[in-house]
Amino acid sequence: MVKIPVAILGATGAVGQRLALILAEHPWFEPVYLGASERSEGRPYGDAARWILPDELPARLAGLRVGSVYPEGAREAGLAGGAFPRLAFSALDAAAAAPAEEAWAQAGVLVVSNASVNRMRTDVPLVIPEINPGHLSLLAQQSYPRGGGIVTNPNCSTIGLAMALKPLHDSFGIEACSVTTLQAASGAGYPGVPSLDILDNAIPFIGGEEAKLESEPAKILGSYQGDDKGGSIREAGLSISAACHRVAVRDGHLEAVALRCARVVSRDEILAAWAAFDGGLGALGLPWAPLRPLVYIEAEDRPQPRLDRERERGMAVSLGRLRPCPVLGWKFELLSHNTLRGAAGGTVLLAELCAARGIVA
C-alpha cells in the first residue's frame, strides 16, 4: 500500500511532537513536510524542535527541513509531485491556523485540524469518529478546490466529555450537564504554563476554555440534517456549565461531571449504556481506534491521571465514581489524555476515518 503523503503544521509544539511520533510510524500516512513558525523555518526538525517527550524524536524526521505553515513552503521544498501532501495535520494556535488552514484547503489539501478557529463554522465538521462520523457529510458544503477541505477535532477537554455523554444522551436524553475540570499543564503547550504558576498551586482559569467546553458538545452530539448535496447540523439541546482549572499534572484532564437526564435512570442503566458503547469503528480497521473507547473503573478513587491516561495508547476515556448527585441526578469522574485522545491521537484517528471513507486518498 502506498502511504498518503501528509504535512504536519505546528510540528515543533507539544501537540506537533506527538503527531510527529505517531505519524513517523503510521501504516497509512507518510509525513513529507513539517511546517512551523518563522523561528524554526529552515532548520532541520531535529534542531528546531525542543523535544519534550520521553520517546525519542523519530530519526526519519530529524533531518527534514522545517518550512512555513503555508502550502508554498511545501512547494518551495521541491517535493516530488506525487509527494505533495494530500492531507495536512494542523496543530497550530488559533491565530496562525486561520489563514494557514484556509490556504491549504484552497490548495486542494484536506486539513485535519486540532485548532479551535474553524470548529464552530457551520460548514465545518467537528468530529469524534466514534460519535458523529456522519457529520463529515458537511464537507459537501465547503467550496474548496477538489481534494481540499477542513475537518476539525474538538478541544482537549471536550472530547472526553462528549464521549462519556454520547451513549447516555442517546439512551436517556441529557438536559443539563455541569463539568469541573482539573487540566494538565501540557494542554497549554510548550513552554506554556510557567512553573512558578503551578508548583504548590492550582489556577481556576484557562482562557477561552469554558466557552469551548460549553458549546462544542452540543454540535458534536447534534444530528446531521440533509443529504449528500447539502445539509447542516442541528445542535443537541443540552445546557452545559463548565469551570476549568489548571493543576500540577503533566498529562491527562480529569473532569468531575454531573448531569440531569430527561427521565429517571438507574445506575445500572448508565453503566450498561457505557458498556454497550463500542464506537462502531470496528469494521473499518482504523489503526488508532481504541478497542474500548470507554472504560469504567470500579475502584473508589479512579480514574487518576497518572494511572489511567495511557490506557489503549492514550485513546480510551476512563470513567469512574458514578454516584447520585443531590442536585442534578447523577455524577461521575472522567479522564482522558489531553495530547493523545484530546489532540494528536484524536486528529490521527479522524484522518484515518477520512481515509477509510475515501475523503482523502
Among 267, 327, 357, 361, binds a copy of itself (CB under 8 A): 327
First to last CA, the chain: 11
Contact between 24 and 104 (Cβ < 8 Å): no
Q: Which of 135, 156, 169, 354 is catalytic?
A: 156
169 is catalytic: no
Among 75, 205, 237, 357, binds a copy of itself (CB under 8 A): 205
261 is catalytic: no
Contacts with 29 (C-beta within 8 Å, 6 or more apart), sequence order: 3, 4, 5, 6, 23, 87, 348, 351, 355
Question: Is residue 98 a contact point for a copy of itself (CB under 8 A)?
Answer: no
* CA dihedral sign of residues 283, 289, 294, 295: positive
Sole window of 80-88, 269-277, 279-287, 328-336 interacting with a copy of itself (rule: CB under 8 A) = 328-336
* Residue 91 CA: distances (Å) to CA of 8, 115, 119: 7, 6, 13
> By rule CB under 8 A, what string of x and - marks binding of each residue 160-199 to a copy of itself?
----------------xxx-x-x--xx---xxxxxxxxxx
Cell match 490506557: residue? 311
Contact between 83 and 71 (Cβ < 8 Å): no
> By rule CB under 8 A, what string of x and - marks binding of each residue 254-283 to a copy of itself?
x-x-x-x-----------------------
Sole window of 52-60, 91-99, 105-113, 133-141 interacting with a copy of itself (rule: CB under 8 A) = 52-60
Q: Which of residues 238-257 bind a copy of itself (CB under 8 A)?
A: 239-241, 243, 245, 247-250, 254, 256
Q: Which of 15, 73, 97, 4 is nearest to 352 (CA)?
A: 4
Q: Which of 241, 262, 244, 266 is nearest to 254 (CA)?
A: 244
CB atoms within 10 A of CB 265: 17
The residues of the shown chain that bind a copy of itself, judged by CB under 8 A, are 14, 51-54, 176-178, 180, 182, 185-186, 190-205, 214, 239-241, 243, 245, 247-250, 254, 256, 258, 260, 300-310, 320-321, 325-328, 331, 333
Residues that are catalytic = 156, 253
